[in-house]
């Protein structure tokens, strides 16, 4: 493992949404306010350009704009993970090197896939991550998620952690995530630097019990997720479980009803951003769904609903 990979990242690293105006254009001023809110609300770090950031509707030039704007604005206040996923090994390596040069603390990369059927062999996946690792000196987080449609066995993930220098973090968001996290930690030992929870924290307590040391959630209420993670890591499991029960209705509503638009709706309601627009062909959620999200959120009084007011 490279020297730059030695620092260990833990805690709550939510995904930042990409902020658009009502015409669907990038709103970089709104993006900066979004980042300031997320830091003020307790994010231990931030992930950008992920699927919950609508990375799949951005041009390469827009990706670069967002990456440089966010990293310059954060200016080292918290570590930033940049998602650099691409099917091409060489393009993913170039994206990752550019992210490192711009100040990223880590890159997050899905295994190569395209559409519903384009997949590559396990050997090719191993070589893909090796090419990316050879191009950088910062950690790689492998995103193990159903959207890729690529089975990644515990044995294979542990082998990549042992044999590829910068592969050391794993965001597990497949069904039975806790069991996979537990098995991965057992199989990979010290090579598994960061076993992380994902999927908006809907399985967070089980994943923490399995050994997760980080949570990559939606960006709307990092203060709420901190209320779960902080006491858990302090050995106060009952307090963490009570907080999880308190926040779970909102977590569930985001995960099952609103998806990636949830944090934008909350941020607009609280005056953080001016528009909760998602880029076409994505559609805004139904007004009743929006109202349901806000009704649950207001009972919890998250920072997002008062940050900009």
Known catalytic residues are 171
DSSP code per residue over 244-255: HHHHHHHHHHII
Phi, psi of 5 (to 5 degrees): -90, 0
Q: What is the chain's percent helix, strand, coil content, to nearest 5?
A: 55, 10, 35
User: The tokens 């809110």 sit on which residue?
Assistant: 37
- Phi and psi angles of residue 169, each rounded to the nearest 5 degrees, phi first: -120, 150
Beta bridge partners of 114: 118
For the chain, report the end-to-end CA distance as a whole number of angstroms: 46
Residues 6+ positions from 264 with CB-CB distance below 8 Å:
17, 19, 273, 275, 276, 277, 278
Task: Please give the C-alpha separations between residue 68 and each of 80, 83, 92, 168, 197, in angstroms, as whole numbers.
Answer: 11, 13, 17, 25, 27
Cα 223 to Cα 226: distance, rounded to the nearest angstrom: 5
Q: Cα–Cα distance between 30 and 57 in angstroms, integer?
A: 18
- Is residue 258 within 8 Å of residue 56, measured between CB atoms? no
Q: Measure the CA–CA gap between 309 and 214, rounded to whole angstroms.
A: 30
Distance from C-alpha of 154 to C-alpha of 165, rounded to nearest angstrom: 18
């Amino acid at each position: 493992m490279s020297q730059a990979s030695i620092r260990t990242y833990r805690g709550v690293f939510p995904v930042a949404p990409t902020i658009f105006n009502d015409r669907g254009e990038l709103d970089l001023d709104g993006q900066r306010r979004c980042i300031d809110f997320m830091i003020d609300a307790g994010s231990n770090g931030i992930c950008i350009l992920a699927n919950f950031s609508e990375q799949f509707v951005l041009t390469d030039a827009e990706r670069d704009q967002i990456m440089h704007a966010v990293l310059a604005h954060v200016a080292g206040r918290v570590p930033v993970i940049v998602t650099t996923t691409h099917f091409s090994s060489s393009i993913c390596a170039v994206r990752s090197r550019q992210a490192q040069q711009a100040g990223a603390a880590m890159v997050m990369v899905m295994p190569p896939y395209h559409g519903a059927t384009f997949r590559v062999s396990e050997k090719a996946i191993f070589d893909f991550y090796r090419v990316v690792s050879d191009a950088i000196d910062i950690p790689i987080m492998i995103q193990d998620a159903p959207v890729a449609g690529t089975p990644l066995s515990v044995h294979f993930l542990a082998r990549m952690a042992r044999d590829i220098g910068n592969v050391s973090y794993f965001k597990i968001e497949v069904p039975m995530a806790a069991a996979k996290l537990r098995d991965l930690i057992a199989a990979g030992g010290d090579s598994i630097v960061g076993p992380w929870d994902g999927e908006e924290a809907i399985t967070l307590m089980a994943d923490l019990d399995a050994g997760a040391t980080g949570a990559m959630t939606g960006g709307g209420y990092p203060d709420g997720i901190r209320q779960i993670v902080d006491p858990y890591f302090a050995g106060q499991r009952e307090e963490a479980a009570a907080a999880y029960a308190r926040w779970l209705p909102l977590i569930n509503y985001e995960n099952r009803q609103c998806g990636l638009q949830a944090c934008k709706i909350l941020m607009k309601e609280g005056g953080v951003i001016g528009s909760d627009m998602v880029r076409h062909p994505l559609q805004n959620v139904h007004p009743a769904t929006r109202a349901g999200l806000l009704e649950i959120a207001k009972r919890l009084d998250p920072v997002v609903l008062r940050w900009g007011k």
